[in-house]
Structure 1
Amino acid sequence: MSLKLEWVDEREEAGAGEAGWPTLLTRLLNEAAEGEGVAGGIVTLTLTDNGGIRELNRTYRGLDKATDVLSFPMREQGAEEFEILYEDDYETTTVDILNGEAGEDETEDDEPGNADRIEELLGDIVISVPRMHEQAVEYGHSAERELGFLFVHGFLHLMGYDHGTEEEEREMFAKQEAILAKAGLTR
């Protein structure tokens, strides 16, 4: 199983200097996933503007304001397994959500090792590019560093991390900074 980053750009046009973003974010995804023991899955990244993220924030969080990043995890926290029923043979495959491994309930006609693997959807991350640029200026670092920070922050939310308490915030932000430092994106 492998990690995949799917990319959606809702903006009317990309800005200058964005050509390296897919490579940077794929590298950060791999670093962050390795640290969390995630061997595979799909993360969808949507780049939007302040209006787009404001609408999502209002719809899904009840907050009528723009923000920098939103995360929509697909994993149920604490869920271990679920069964998938295939229409063609009505065979079941058990997918271990935490480990991202598929195992097959074999029938007589099955050949071991030929199970169709279903890639786990880890979740969606949405970043407001204008807000990202504003924050890069505000914090005095590069747009790539701020983009990386927001992306890793979003990924850790997909993994179940939060920053509702001081202890949770310390843990999450320490993980973010370690991943960014490993990628050379320091302040």
Structure 2
Amino acid sequence: MSMQLDWSNEQEKVDIPEAWIARLEQLLQLAAEAEGLSSGEVALTFVDNEEIHRLNRDYRGIDRPTDVLSFAMQDEGEEETDIHFDEESEGAASLVTDMLGDIIISAERAREQSEEYGHSLEREIGFLFVHGFLHLLGYDHQDDNSEQVMTVKQEAVLAAAGLSR
């Protein structure tokens, strides 16, 4: 089983082409492989600045818009699995990793940042997605060392997908 991406677009200000979703699925596979994960599911939602502002305020207590939010389904150290029966394997049970969590990206803010940083919107959305995915796995950037770890991991995945700066 591979990683699964479930996505939705709840904003109208930025066009998200289907080809970009295929790129995000590729990024998910590359990032998961780099972290030693072979299965799981990530939900991705594109919103506008107003909605991400509301979510940031309501869930993080920060009263301003941001570019990406991640909501992990499992706390560190908790590992939940579902048992699924595969008809082809004559009822043998296989363990399938549950949902890893949700990534919310402000497509509007991503567009603003791509212009500010001078790279494509596709690259910016890819960066935000990988960044959010690493947060789902427990990575953070609260200090210089942890920020450097995340930066190296993000750039390696983006480079492998052809989305370097």
Same fold (TM over 0.5): yes
Structure 2: gaps (5+ residues): none
If each structure's helix is expressed as a fraction of its own residues, which one has the higher value? 2
What is the correspondence of 1:95-134 to structure 2 with a 5 Å cutoff?
Answer: 95=81, 114-115=92-93, 117-134=95-112
Deviations 1:47-93, CA, capped at 9 Å, x for gaps? 0000010000001000111000000011221224x5xxxxxxxxxxx
CA distance in 2, matches of 1:37, 1:144: 25
CA distance in 1, matches of 2:102, 2:153: 20
Q: Deviation at 1:126?
A: 0.2
Q: Deviation at 1:118?
A: 4.3
- Root-mean-square deviation (CA, aligned residues, Å) is 2.2
Structure 1 runs of 4+ off > 4 angstroms? 101-104, 116-119
Q: If the length of structure 2 is used for normalisation, what is the TM-score?
A: 0.90
Deviations 1:13-68, CA, capped at 9 Å, x for gaps? 652x6231110000000000000011111100000000010000001000111000
CA distance in 1, matches of 2:44, 2:136: 12
Q: Deviation at 1:3?
A: 1.1
CA distance in 1, matches of 2:2, 2:163: 24
Share of identical aligned residues, percent? 52
CA distance in 2, matches of 1:13, 1:134: 12
For residue 91 of structure 1, what is the aligned residue in structure 2? none
Equivalent residue pairs, number = 162
Computing the radius of gyration over CA atoms, which structure comes out larger, 1 or 2? 1
For residue 7 of structure 1, what is the aligned residue in structure 2? 7
Contact 2:13 2:48 in 1 (8 A): no
Q: Deviation at 1:12?
A: 3.6
Structure 1: gaps (5+ residues): 83-94, 96-100, 105-110
CA distance in 2, matches of 1:42, 1:7: 11
Deviations 1:79-126, CA, capped at 9 Å, x for gaps? 24x5xxxxxxxxxxxx3xxxxx9599xxxxxx9862265441000000
Q: If the length of structure 1 is used for normalisation, what is the TM-score?
A: 0.80
CA distance in 2, matches of 1:51, 1:42: 26
